Amino acid sequence: MAALLLGIVVLGFAGTIGLLVITAERVLIGRREEQSAIRRLTPAALAVVFEDGTEFPVLSRPDALVFAALLGEFSAQVQGASHDRITQYFEAQGHVRAAIAELSSRRPWRRAVAAYALGDMGSPASVGPLVAALDDERRDVRSAAARSLGQLGKPEAVEPLVRALSSGQIPRGVVCRSVLLLGEQAVPRLLPLLTHAEPEVRAVSAELIGLLGGAREAQQLLARLRDTSAAVRGRAAIALGRLGASDAYSGLDGTLRDRAPAVRAAAAEALGLIGNAAAFAPLREVARTDLFEPARAAAYALGRLAPDLLEAAASEPGAGRFLREAADTAALRARAPA
């Protein structure tokens, strides 16, 4: 009986090993075939990218998949006429139409793959369907759609992306990357969102304008320093600092007395970035007397604004620990090797 059981165990073990070997072999063969197809098809794919009037090759289904994947990879790296030719290929071969149809698939992974692929295909026809996919019930589909809208570079995607972000439907990093990919052309779409009914939309818009805009956007951001939401006031202050808007000084000076400590800290940081010498006295006062977060931010802002005066300010009676810390940090940095 024991020998029989042992035999069954040994046979089962050997069978499992055999299956694993066969599976591994098939995977290796599949990879080798794919690598071979990539090498074989790369010249034709490059011709599509670079040569006007190139006839699109007629391919078997497996080769067509490899070819599409190659063009998808090239698409992410090029712009201009080369990118347009890749889009023409995907449109002419029916890939765009098929992927848009897949966005309605009952299987979530197929919707996610289609949403991702549409970004590399680059067709303007996919903007509307991808915006609709931002409301998909599955997070991975929504994220893929957000990523692809950034790849497509169409400013009409800005508002739905920011709304999706503020509602927490899509990871912050994905949406911000997409809007940043749009660059300056996103700014005119972001400005009206500064007065949106949702505070989170206003806050995100202010932050993105700080990253993408210029000094000409300072007035709209200054108005947000009086927003009812502390999150909006804080992000507007940071944005003004990033833009380096010199005429923002008076608004930010008042924000140093905001009722929310985090907003006062943001204003202090912004004043340090802008570098207006008139901010020295109010920043020193905040550094000496305010709570932890704004006091510390003000002390470090002074280090940026007037490093030569920081040590003297830190040595005054009643200077407090934050000015001392900022002065010591500045001295350490000055001594550190470049």
Q: Which residues bind other proteins (CB under 8 A)?
A: 42, 46, 49-50, 73-74, 76-83, 180, 183
3-state SS, residue 243: helix
Smaller CB distance to other proteins: residue 46 or 260? 46
What are the Cα distances from residue 201, in Å, to 68, 196, 219, 290?
Answer: 37, 6, 18, 30
Smaller CB distance to other proteins: residue 10 or 180? 180
CB of 205 to other proteins, least distance (A): 19
Quick one: which of 128, 195, 192, 202 has its CA closest to 165?
202
CA 81 from centre of chain = 26
Residues 6+ apart with CB under 8 A from 174: 143, 146, 147
CB of 222 to other proteins, least distance (A): 23
CB of 43 to other proteins, least distance (A): 9
CB of 201 to other proteins, least distance (A): 24
CB of 250 to other proteins, least distance (A): 26
Smaller CB distance to other proteins: residue 47 or 230? 47
Phi, psi of 47 (to 5 degrees): -65, -40
d(CA 207, CA 190): 10
CB of 191 to other proteins, least distance (A): 20
Residues 6+ apart with CB under 8 A from 305: 271, 272, 275, 276, 277, 279, 280, 283
Smaller CB distance to other proteins: residue 74 or 300? 74
Smaller CB distance to other proteins: residue 80 or 337? 80
Smaller CB distance to other proteins: residue 212 or 265? 212
Torsion of CA 159, 115, 138, 201, to 10 degrees: -10
Smaller CB distance to other proteins: residue 83 or 296? 83
Quick check: 268 and 250 in contact, CB under 8 A? no
Q: What angle do CA 243, 247, 249 make, to 5 degrees?
A: 90
CB of 180 to other proteins, least distance (A): 8
Crossing angle (nearest 10°) for helices 139-152 and 158-166: 150
